[in-house]
Amino acid sequence: MRGPHNIWRLIRTGATFIRTGAMHQALEAMDAPPRLRAVAYAISAPFAWLGYKGDPDLPPVTRAITALGPAYIKFGQVLSTRPDVVGSELADQLRVLQDKLPPFETSVAKRMVEEELGAPADQLFMEFSEPVAAASIAQVHSARRADTGERVAVKVLRPGIERAFRRDLDAFHFAAAMIERISPASRRLRPSEVIKHFESVVMGELDLRLEAASASQFGANTEGDAGFVVPQPVWNLSAKRVMVLDWAEGLPMGDPDGLRGAGHDVSGIGERVLQLFLSHALRDGFFHADMHHGNLKVAGNGDILAYDFGIMGQIDEYTRRVYAEILMGFIQRDYKRVAEVHFEAGYVPADRDVDEFALALRAVGEPIFGMDATHISMARLLAYLFEVTERFGMQTQTQLILLQRTMVVVEGVARSLNPSINMWEVAKPVVEKYIRESLGPRAIANDLRKTVQVLGRFGPELPDLVKAAIRKQTEPTPPPVTVTRWRYAALISAGTALLLLGVVLGELL
């Protein structure tokens, strides 16, 4: 229940932010209204002695968050994808937040395996290691299946984590409501919306069946991507709190020297990471939204291995086309077209001046193109672009925000492997290919085919609908003639359109 009982936990939270020195930085980053800042200090400062000390080696905000526990750590990770809320500087700090928590006992993990899978862990697995990784929500063990002898990764939720998260979510919702009540000006920060977004992400991660489904979908989408491997779930050994995946051995992506020592083309791997991400986002509309060094490895044969599918991004087909046209417009330095795409998509209000907007976009793009290749950044371009579009009245596009944040992460990975990488040159063939396939004649044919399929579902009903419309003409109290004729004409037009689309589709194919 989101009642006053949450006040104590929130006081402890504020006290920890005061004690670690994180309060000022967090409020500044979010540009919190003065009244909200005053209330936050007034409530928290007297209780600073109750706050957790945290790790003094960490930056203030990450120090406070890690001290407060798993729910706060995960909240920090989610906020790292929302620079529109916390600002770019704090988002970058939160992005490196690591889930380095003490593991729980292996015996507890085995007990949970038995509870979830209905058989003792020692019966299902001939080997079951100590934890090889421990995060805020779960930990991972290496194991070997008893039936096949294959090595697998066993991910187990922390015991009691659902209850702990629900308790903290309750406090977060209570805090958001109080903030909006105390300071109406804070509503521009959308605290309640942010908490709802966080809740949707976390609730998905607390059900490992959903993560297994994401791994399965991601694997199916990328099956044809040479040199990219997604470990697949073992469905008969996976449940809500336990997930078993294929084991994939590799060297950490964050160790360039180790990769070079193993004979890998480090520069080529950096380029592939960027191109693969863009392909997944544009081609599939389903991408890994937490693609940092810790979730990527390189196999002995050079394949890139991806892990941890708790946070995935999705973009609908229309948004992908808009995004691709925007990127291509910048690549070609056609700022007028980039401006027109924003207006066509409805991102910028129609009452704004398109030429003025194009000029503002030129001010964004030209300085970047004048940079040395080592400084060219699509992520920086998108960040500047969002600043400009906000000034022209563009509403925040959550899908594009997540995409932009992931782009920052992927660029960081690519540059760590190849500091001289030219982002535009690497991205250009991927964007061009998508535009050819999604905006050219073949795309038109596919769109028409889909339209025919939709209309085809109603085809068998058209005669009855037409008869019903004609029959209404003879009813004692018919509706207005204009309406009846309009409906009749619409039905005839739909049937005619169906035939014409079929003919056009046949010509194009």
Assign 3-class secondary structure to 290-324.
Answer: CCCHHHEEECCCCCEEECCCCCEEECCHHHHHHHH
Mean pLDDT value across residues 106-126:
95
Q: What is the pLDDT of residue 448?
A: 67
- How high does pLDDT run on average in the chain? 79
Task: Report how many domains make up the chain.
Answer: 3
51 close to 20: Cβ distance less than 8 angstroms: yes
The CA distance from 107 to 120, in Å, is 11
Residues 393 and 452 in one domain: no
354-392 pLDDT per residue, tens: 999 899 888 877 877 666 656 666 666 666 666 776 677
Residues 283 and 382 in one domain: yes
The residue to which tokens 């009642």 are assigned: 3
The CA distance from 199 to 288, in Å, is 19
Residues 195 and 257 in one domain: no
Task: Calculate ∠ Cα 195-83-74, nearest 5°.
Answer: 45
Mean pLDDT value across residues 195-201:
74
Confidence of residue 346 (pLDDT cuts 50, 70, 90): confident
Residue 226 within any structural domain of the chain: no
Residue 364 within any structural domain of the chain: yes
Residues 399 and 449 in one domain: no
Q: What is the pLDDT of residue 444?
A: 63
- In the predicted structure, residue 50 carries a pLDDT above the cut 80: no
Residues 471 and 397 in one domain: no
Q: Is 202 exposed, middle or buried (0-12, 13-18, 19+ CB in 10 A)?
A: buried
Nearest to 365 by CA among 412, 396, 326, 307: 326
Residue percentage of the chain with pLDDT more than 90:
27
311-322 pLDDT per residue, tens: 888 888 888 888
Nearest to 212 by CA among 230, 188, 196: 230
Residue 405 within any structural domain of the chain: yes
Q: What is the pLDDT of residue 244?
A: 97
Residue 157 within any structural domain of the chain: no
Confidence of residue 397 (pLDDT cuts 50, 70, 90): low
Report helix angle 354-369 to 335-344, nearest 10: 130
Domain that holds residue 360: 250-439
Q: What is the pLDDT of residue 395?
A: 64
Mean pLDDT value across residues 413-434:
84
Residues 453 and 433 in one domain: no
Confidence of residue 302 (pLDDT cuts 50, 70, 90): very high
Residues 256 and 322 in one domain: yes
Catalytic: 265? Answer: no
More confident residue, 100 or 435: 435
Residue 502 within any structural domain of the chain: yes
More confident residue, 94 or 250: 250
Residues 363 and 421 in one domain: yes
Q: How far apart are the first and last CA of the chain?
A: 59
- In the predicted structure, residue 491 carries a pLDDT above the cut 70: no
Q: What is the pLDDT of residue 127?
A: 94
Going from the C-alpha of 31 to that of each of 84, 143, 151, 195, 390, the distances in angstroms are 11, 48, 49, 18, 16
More confident residue, 109 or 361: 109
309 close to 460: Cβ distance less than 8 angstroms: no
H helix runs in 45-156, sequence order: 60-68, 70-79, 83-86, 88-95, 106-117, 121-124
Which of 84, 99, 290, 308 is an active site residue? Answer: 290
Q: What is the pLDDT of residue 451?
A: 65
Confidence of residue 95 (pLDDT cuts 50, 70, 90): low
Q: Is 438 left (phi over 0), alpha (psi -120 to 50) or beta?
A: alpha
- In the predicted structure, residue 506 carries a pLDDT above the cut 60: no
Residue 229 within any structural domain of the chain: no
Residue 114 within any structural domain of the chain: no
Report the range of poorest mean pLDDT among 8-17, 204-213, 271-280, 444-453: 444-453
Mean pLDDT value across residues 156-182:
82
Confidence of residue 349 (pLDDT cuts 50, 70, 90): confident
Q: What is the pLDDT of residue 172?
A: 80
- In the predicted structure, residue 282 carries a pLDDT above the cut 70: yes
Q: What is the pLDDT of residue 263?
A: 93
More confident residue, 53 or 300: 300
Confidence of residue 483 (pLDDT cuts 50, 70, 90): very low
Residues 423 and 469 in one domain: no
Q: What is the pLDDT of residue 210?
A: 92
Helix (H) or strand (E) holding 450: helix 441-458
Residues 258 and 390 in one domain: yes
Q: What is the pLDDT of residue 490?
A: 41
211-270 pLDDT per residue, tens: 999 999 999 999 999 999 999 999 999 999 999 999 989 998 888 899 999 999 999 999
Nearest to 237 by CA among 227, 247, 251: 247
The residue to which tokens 């998509």 are assigned: 345
Report the range of poorest mean pLDDT among 3-7, 223-227, 489-493: 489-493
Residue 212 within any structural domain of the chain: no
Which of 439, 468, 486 is where one domain is finished?
439
Going from the C-alpha of 276 to that of each of 9, 286, 292, the distances in angstroms are 43, 12, 14
Residue percentage of the chain with pLDDT more than 70:
74
Residues 432 and 448 in one domain: no
Residues 90 and 176 in one domain: yes
- In the predicted structure, residue 478 carries a pLDDT above the cut 60: no
The CA distance from 20 to 17, in Å, is 5
